[in-house]
């Protein structure tokens, strides 16, 4: 029994392909989401279908697995039985919990209600649609005010989201929204710590900071979010509070275990994560394992894709060994750190890859693009993502955006668009392009 169709769950399932087992894969969704590219959906560069993969398609190359859509509500470890939402009960011999984690709002007032995380496909679509709704509203009613987009969290997701939003404003909006004054559209990145991309080397952190500033991101370091409201965020820096009026607040900081894990009768450690031993076995729960973000072992691992994938493969190896009576010969799980990377925008990224020098700029960006395309599940998704990203980054004349429906805008005052106004808007765009060319 595998709970969770993410990186770790799929890795475990595939590693058990030739084992004499019958696998049930359970997930609350019928699809796998490639979370590292969710921000590309949120910023209208990729279709949601480009980064999602139908979990039932796993049977195309593996007949010993079946899929069951459901949410685990309880686990009877003695009877080895799962309870699912809707009074469904499923028995197992071995259990692998790979269900991932969820957003941690750290008790920030109003954050859960008014901020949007980037952890699920639906949330990315919410950010995307809200973005264009705000721009259409601003085009009619916002000529005498400013529009601010706030991203909370200076980790990889926050930096990538802020960079993508800034590039959209700088490169696409002068053509697609010529009636808007770019100087009135602000992208603000708020980070509590003294630097963005904390886990990276200092030189790479400084490069990322300079790249964000080059794209006119309003970078607020050493700044804490005290409250999120319907119309913006209250922040504090150096003991001084400031309210930033914002149309969108993206929450890209911190994760924690799903509340439902409390009902699973498992030992939990920091962040509600399930405690495991050196073989990813859940402490004092025979036959049960936990891998990926939801697990925490004697040596805590980074909450990235690689630890989940490697953990899934190790647990599958353990189960196969136990079936043969040779589990004692399996060495403890040892994570092989292959490195990490983050992108700031076109031709700008940072990478720390094992056995390679630290990379930044175009070389790191090329590796980032290639690795993310290769890691996607399904050839169709790889091809579609490659085409969409190539269209965005390689063909400067393309300003197409992948959008959804937005509500009609009601003017707050009488609006007249005259030929003279249109001509002035065209001149404004041409002037911006000329200035950009000189720079």
Order of strands, sheet of 88-91, starting from the edge strand that comes earlier in the sequence: 72-76, 81-84, 88-91
Separation CA 35–CA 26 (nearest Å): 18
- Concerning whether 160 is annotated as a catalytic residue, the answer is yes
Tokens of 431: 């002037």
Q: For the chain, what's the residue count?
A: 439
The three-state secondary structure class of 399 is coil
Closest by Cα among 1, 24, 344 to 154: 344
Query: Which is catalytic among the residues 112, 136, 160, 275?
Result: 160
Reported as half-sphere exposure (CB side, CA atoms, 13 A), residue 33 has a value of 24
SS (H, E, C) 247-292: CEEEECCCEECCHHHHHCCCCECHHHCEEECCCCEECCCCCEEECH
Burial of 148-187, coded b for 16+ CB within 10 Å and e otherwise, reads: bbbbbbbbbbbbbbbbbbbbbbbbbbbeebbbbeeeebbb
Contact predicate 301/273, CB 8 Å: no
Active site residues: 160
């Amino acid at each position: 029994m595998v709970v969770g169709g993410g990186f770790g769950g799929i890795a475990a399932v595939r590693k058990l392909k030739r084992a004499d087992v019958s696998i049930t894969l359970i997930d609350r969704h019928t699809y796998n989401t490639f979370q590292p590219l969710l921000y590309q959906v949120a910023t209208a560069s990729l279709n949601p279908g480009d980064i999602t993969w139908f979990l039932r398609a796993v049977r195309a190359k593996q007949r010993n697995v079946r899929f069951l859509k459901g949410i685990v509500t309880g686990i009877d470890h003695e009877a080895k039985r799962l309870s699912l939402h809707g009074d469904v009960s499923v028995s197992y011999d071995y259990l692998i919990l790979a269900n991932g984690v969820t957003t941690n709002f750290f008790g920030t007032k109003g954050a859960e209600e008014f901020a949007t995380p980037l952890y699920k496909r639906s949330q990315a679509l919410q950010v995307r649609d809200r973005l264009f709704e705000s721009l259409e509203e601003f085009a009619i009613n916002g000529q005498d005010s400013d529009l601010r987009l706030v991203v909370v969290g200076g980790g990889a997701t926050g930096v990538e989201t802020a960079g993508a939003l800034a590039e959209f404003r700088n490169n696409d909006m002068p053509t697609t929204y010529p009636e808007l004054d770019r100087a009135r559209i602000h992208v603000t990145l708020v980070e509590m710590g003294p630097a963005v991309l904390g886990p990276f080397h200092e030189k790479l952190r400084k490069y990322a900071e300079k790249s964000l500033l080059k794209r006119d991101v309003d970078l607020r370091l050493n700044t804490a979010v005290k409250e999120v409201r319907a119309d913006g965020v209250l922040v504090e820096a150096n003991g001084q509070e400031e309210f930033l009026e914002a149309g969108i607040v993206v929450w890209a900081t911190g994760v924690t275990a799903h509340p439902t894990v409390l009902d699973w009768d498992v030992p939990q450690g920091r962040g509600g994560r399930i405690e495991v031993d050196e073989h990813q076995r859940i402490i004092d729960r025979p036959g049960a394992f936990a891998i990926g973000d939801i697990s925490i072992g004697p040596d805590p691992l980074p909450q990235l894709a690689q630890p989940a994938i490697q953990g899934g493969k190790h647990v599958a190896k353990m189960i196969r060994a136990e079936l043969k009576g040779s589990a004692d010969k399996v060495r403890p799980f040892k994570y092989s750190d292959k490195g990490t990377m983050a992108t700031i925008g076109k031709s700008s990224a940072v990478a720390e890859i094992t056995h390679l020098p630290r990379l930044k700029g175009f070389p790191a960006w090329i590796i980032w693009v290639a690795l993310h395309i290769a890691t996607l599940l399904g050839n169709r998704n790889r091809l579609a993502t490659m085409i969409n990203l190539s269209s965005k980054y390689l063909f400067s004349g393309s300003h197409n955006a992948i959008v959804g429906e937005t509500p009609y805008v009601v003017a707050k005052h009488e609006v007249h668009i005259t030929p003279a106004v249109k001509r002035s808007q065209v001149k404004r765009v041409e002037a911006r392009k000329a200035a950009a060319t000189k720079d």
